[in-house]
Amino acid sequence: MYRIVNKAILNASVTLMDIEAPLVAKKAEAGQFVILRVDSEGERIPLTVAGFDREAGTVRIIFQVVGATTKKLNTKEVGDSLCDFVGPLGKKTETEGIKKVCIVGGGVGCAIALPVAQKFAALGADVTSIIGFRSRELLILEEDFAKASNKLSVMTDDGSYGRQGNVCLPLSEMLEAGERFDEVIAIGPLVMMKFVVEAVRPYGIPCTVSMNPIMIDGTGMCGGCRLTLNRDGKRVTEFACVSGPDFNGYEVDFDEAMLRSGAYRDFERHAYEDTCNLFSKEVK
Amino acid sequence: MANMSLKKNEMPTQEPLVRAHNFSEVALGYTEAMALEEAQRCLNCKNMPCVSACPVNIRIPKFIEKVKEGEFEEAYRIISETSTLPAVCGRVCPQERQCESKCVRGIKGEPVGIGRLERFVADWHNTYSSETPEVNVPNGHKIAIIGSGPAGLTCAGDLAKKGYSVSVFEALHEAGGVLVYGIPEFRLPKAIVKKEVDTLKAMGVDIQTNVVIGKTLTVDELFEMGYEAVFVASGAGLPSFMGIKGESLNGVYSANEFLTRSNLMKAYKDSSATPVMKGGRVAVVGGGNVAMDSARTALRLGADEVHIVYRRSMNEIPARAEEVEHAKEEGVIFDVLTNPVEILGYSNPEDKRDPKNGFVRGMTCVRMELGEPDERGRRSPVKIEGSEFLLEVDTVIMAIGTTPNPLIKMTTEGLEVNARGGIIVNENGETSRKGIFAGGDAVTGAATVISAMGAGKIAASAIDEYISDREKNPEKL
User: Is residue A212 predicted with pLDDT exceeding 90?
Assistant: no
Query: Which one is predicted more confidently, B310 or B473?
Result: B310
Shared-domain flag, residues B312 and B420: no
Q: How much is the average pLDDT of B123-139?
A: 85
Q: Which residues of B77-114 are buried (b: 16+ CB within 10 A; e: fewer)?
A: bbbbebbbbbbbbbbbbbbeebbbebbebbeeebbbbb
Q: Which of B212, B250, B266 sits opposite A259 (nearest CB)?
A: B250
Interface size, chain A vs chain B, as Cβ–Cβ contacts under 8 Å: 115
Q: How much is the average pLDDT of B31-55?
A: 93
Q: How confident is the model at residue B210 (pLDDT cuts 50, 70, 90)?
A: very high
- Rounded mean pLDDT of chain B? 92
Checking phi first, is residue B431 left (phi over 0); if not, alpha (psi -120 to 50) or beta? beta
The answer to whether the CB atoms of A226 and B248 lie below 8 A apart is yes
**Is B136 inside any structural domain?**
no
Coil/strand/helix, residue A131: strand
Judge whether B462 and B64 are in contact, CB under 8 Å.
no
**Is B372 inside any structural domain?**
yes
pLDDT reported for residue B129: 86
| Residue A203 φ/ψ, nearest 5 degrees | -95, -5
Coil/strand/helix, residue A170: helix
Cβ neighbours of residue A26 closer than 8 Å, sequence gap 6 or more: A54, A57
Contact residues, chain A, for B275 at CB < 8 Å: 264, 267-268, 271
Contact residues, chain A, for B253 at CB < 8 Å: 223-224
Shared-domain flag, residues B384 and B249: yes
pLDDT reported for residue B302: 92
The answer to whether the CB atoms of A43 and B217 lie below 8 A apart is no
The rounded distance, in Å, linking the Cα atoms of A86 and B215 is 10
Q: How many Å lie between the alpha carbon of B439 and the closest alpha carbon of chain A? A: 18
The residue among A40, A43, A222 with the most chain B CBs within 10 A of its CB, best to mutate, is A222
The answer to whether the CB atoms of B256 and A264 lie below 8 A apart is no
The answer to whether the CB atoms of B209 and A84 lie below 8 A apart is yes
pLDDT reported for residue B377: 77
pLDDT tens digit string along B46-62? 899 999 999 889 999 99
Element (H, E) at A7: strand A2-11
Contact residues, chain A, for B181 at CB < 8 Å: 217, 221
Q: How many Å lie between the alpha carbon of B372 and the closest alpha carbon of chain A? A: 33
- Of chain A, the percentage scoring pLDDT greater than 90 comes to 79
Which residues, in sequence order, are bridge partners of residue B145? Answer: B168, B231
**Is B299 inside any structural domain?**
yes
Residues of A with CB under 8 A from a CB of B: 23-24, 27, 37, 41-44, 68-69, 83-89, 216-217, 219-224, 226-228, 237, 239, 242, 256, 259-260, 262-268, 271
pLDDT reported for residue A17: 97
Instruction: Tell me how crowded residue B372 is: count the other CB atoms within 10 A of its CB.
Output: 7
The rounded distance, in Å, linking the Cα atoms of B428 and B416 is 16
Look at residues B83, B104, B128 and tell me which one is the last residue of a structural domain. B128
Instruction: Quote ipTM for the complex.
Output: 0.90
Judge whether B370 and B262 are in contact, CB under 8 Å.
no
Nearest CA in chain A to B352: A259
Q: How many Å lie between the alpha carbon of B55 and the closest alpha carbon of chain A? A: 27
Q: How much is the average pLDDT of B28-52?
A: 94
Domains and their CATH numbers in chain A: 2-89 (2.40.30.10), 93-207 (3.40.50.80)
Shared-domain flag, residues B277 and B345: yes
- Of chain B, the percentage scoring pLDDT greater than 90 comes to 74
User: Is residue A279 predicted with pLDDT exceeding 70?
Assistant: no
pLDDT reported for residue B288: 94
The rounded distance, in Å, linking the Cα atoms of A132 and B18 is 56
Q: What is the pTM of this model?
A: 0.91
pLDDT reported for residue A278: 57
**Is B311 inside any structural domain?**
yes
pLDDT tens digit string along A181-196? 999 999 999 999 999 9
Shared-domain flag, residues B251 and B387: yes
pLDDT tens digit string along A14-71? 999 999 999 999 999 999 999 999 998 889 999 999 999 999 999 999 999 988 899 9
User: Is residue B22 predicted with pLDDT exceeding 70?
Assistant: yes
Residue B375 lies in domain: 241-400
Nearest CA in chain A to B218: A27
pLDDT reported for residue B476: 57
- Rounded mean pLDDT of chain A? 91
Shared-domain flag, residues B360 and B414: no
Q: How many Å lie between the alpha carbon of B352 and the closest alpha carbon of chain A? A: 10
The answer to whether the CB atoms of B172 and A217 lie below 8 A apart is yes
**Is B113 inside any structural domain?**
yes
CATH code for the domain in which residue B303 is found: 3.50.50.60
Shared-domain flag, residues B359 and B248: yes
Contact residues, chain B, for A262 at CB < 8 Å: 250, 355, 358
Look at residues B383, B400, B417 and tell me which one is the last residue of a structural domain. B400
Pairing of strands A246-248, A234-239: unpaired
Residue type, B234: S
pLDDT tens digit string along B320-341? 888 999 999 999 999 999 999 9
pLDDT reported for residue B275: 82
Look at residues B369, B400, B431 and tell me which one is the last residue of a structural domain. B400
User: Is residue B132 predicted with pLDDT exceeding 80?
Assistant: no
The answer to whether the CB atoms of B407 and A220 lie below 8 A apart is yes
**Is B161 inside any structural domain?**
yes
The answer to whether the CB atoms of A222 and B273 lie below 8 A apart is no
Shared-domain flag, residues B220 and B157: yes
Judge whether B218 and B412 are in contact, CB under 8 Å.
yes
Q: How confident is the model at residue B359 (pLDDT cuts 50, 70, 90)?
A: very high
